[in-house]
Amino acid sequence: MSIIRDCLDALLHPSARYDALTRARHRAFMAPRLLGSLAAFAAFPVYLAMRGAPTALEVAAFAWLIAPILLSWFLSRTGRYEGAHVLSSLALAGFVVTVAMTTGGIESFAAIWLVVVPLEAALSVSRRMPSISVTSADAMTCCNAAPRTPNAML
């Protein structure tokens, strides 16, 4: 456990290293994103072996899993905790809307995950974050609910 904590401490922005609360927040932001993304990348070869060649949508979904790693890098290099949370909410909302669009629109099983976007934002310290994330989730949902012609789905 101390190995993981030491690795996360090495990734912290210099401005976050000396304040215990900021250090804990930055660690709590980076740890699940890095571990989740690395677990998904570790599962990718197993997925390929069991499933075979992925479709374009599956490749895009796995590529989207790079976003949490990039968000951790962004926080590590800039120290902008609120900005990292905004980008994290946008990445999650974009992923959910993309999956929902391809699996049935607003009636998709993935649409319920749009509820997670404001919940994730509520974990941030900022009072603006929940309203920003709800607005982004609503905008993406509206784009998803817009009528499409059959040729637009290609």
Q: What is the pLDDT along the chain (154 residues), one digit of tens a residue?
A: 678 777 777 788 888 888 888 888 888 889 889 998 989 889 889 989 999 898 888 888 888 888 999 999 999 999 898 888 888 888 888 888 888 878 877 777 877 887 787 777 777 666 665 565 566 556 556 655 555 544 445 4
φ, ψ for residue 64 (rounded to 5)?
A: -65, -20
pLDDT for position 83? 87
Chain centroid to CA 58: 16
Q: What is residue 151's predicted lDDT score, i.e. its pLDDT?
A: 45
Q: Are 48 and 54 in contact (CB under 8 A)?
A: yes
Instruction: Tell me the pTM.
Output: 0.74
